[in-house]
């Protein structure tokens, strides 16, 4: 059985994390949501009253990040996500977290089935040689509606227009940053989820994975 590496990239709210989680279960792979790395750095900065503009302090926090820092449920908070997006433009922060991601992907190379990593630049920068790359996308409007629904289900009052504007601003930061701007790798499978349900998304992704890894075995 070949060692499997699947990269999943895309903008915030496109569904890449959900897809990555499902693929990890289907193919029995380890999963890393790399966005949590930046969120963990952001959380520790907030705890230490470090502002986003203090890039050298952000670098120090990123350099000392531990895997257990990713287990904090507060990392999913909206305020953490916004700060994470701001500090993710710093080259030194991205470089500091690069090895963490690469080590996770190759961990247990000889005795495990592999890993799936989702983020913004996994297929382009972190694991450019990965055979199986997926770029998940969706319109900003669809992503805003999904986020609004998610927040309402959690009992959090939110306004659609505010969420939409936040998503567009985050997209702009991701696509226009100097280092690792958000874009699909040339050999990535572009999967637009705007008009698809989760089962359809998983089905299309699995077809691509099976094409890249013909010997892959799924869980019954």
Q: In whole angstroms, how far apart are CA 91 and each of 157, 162, 178?
A: 35, 29, 8
Which pLDDT value is given to residue 142? 96
First to last CA, the chain: 17
Sheet-wide strand order for 4-9: 30-33, 114-119, 4-9, 132-137, 189-192
Backbone angles phi, psi at 71, to 5 degrees: -85, 0
CATH homologous superfamily for the domain 4-208: P-loop containing nucleotide triphosphate hydrolases (3.40.50.300)
pLDDT of residue 110: 58
Distances (CA, A) of 177 to 122, 129, 180: 15, 23, 7
Q: What is the pLDDT of residue 133?
A: 98
Q: CA-to-CA distance for 211 and 178, rounded, in angstroms?
A: 34
Report residues of the chain scoring pLDDT below 50.
Answer: none
Q: List the chain domain ranges.
A: 4-208
Beta strand segments in the chain, E:
4-9, 30-33, 114-119, 132-137, 189-192
Measure the CA dihedral 102/109/28/131, to 10°: 60
Question: What's the predicted TM-score (pTM) here?
Answer: 0.88
Q: What is the pLDDT of residue 108?
A: 62
pLDDT at residue number 181: 86
Q: Tell me the C-alpha distance between 98 and 152, whole Å.
A: 35
The reported pLDDT for the residue numbered 106 is 86
Whose tokens are 């999943």? That residue is: 8
């Amino acid at each position: 059985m070949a060692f499997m590496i699947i990269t999943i990239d895309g903008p915030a709210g496109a569904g890449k994390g959900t897809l990555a989680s499902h693929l990890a279960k289907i193919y029995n792979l380890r999963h890393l949501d790399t966005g949590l790395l930046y969120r963990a750095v952001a959380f520790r900065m907030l705890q230490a009253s470090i502002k986003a503009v203090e890039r050298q302090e952000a670098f120090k926090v990123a350099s000392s990040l531990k895997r257990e820092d990713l287990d904090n449920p507060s990392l999913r908070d909206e305020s953490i996500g916004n700060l994470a997006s701001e500090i993710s433009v710093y080259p030194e922060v991205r470089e500091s977290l690069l090895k963490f991601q690469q080590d996770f992907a190759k961990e247990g190379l000889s005795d495990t089935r592999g890993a799936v990593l989702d983020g913004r630049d996994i297929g382009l920068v972190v694991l450019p040689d990965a055979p199986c790359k997926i770029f998940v996308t969706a319109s900003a409007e669809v992503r805003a509606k999904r986020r609004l629904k998610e927040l309402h289900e959690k009992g959090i009052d939110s306004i659609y227009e505010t969420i939409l504007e936040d998503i567009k601003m985050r997209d702009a930061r991701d696509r226009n940053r100097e280092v690792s701007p958000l874009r699909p790798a040339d050999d990535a499978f572009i999967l637009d989820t705007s008009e698809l349900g989760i089962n359809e998304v998983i089905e299309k992704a699995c077809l691509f994975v099976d094409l890249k890894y013909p010997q892959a075995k799924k869980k019954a």
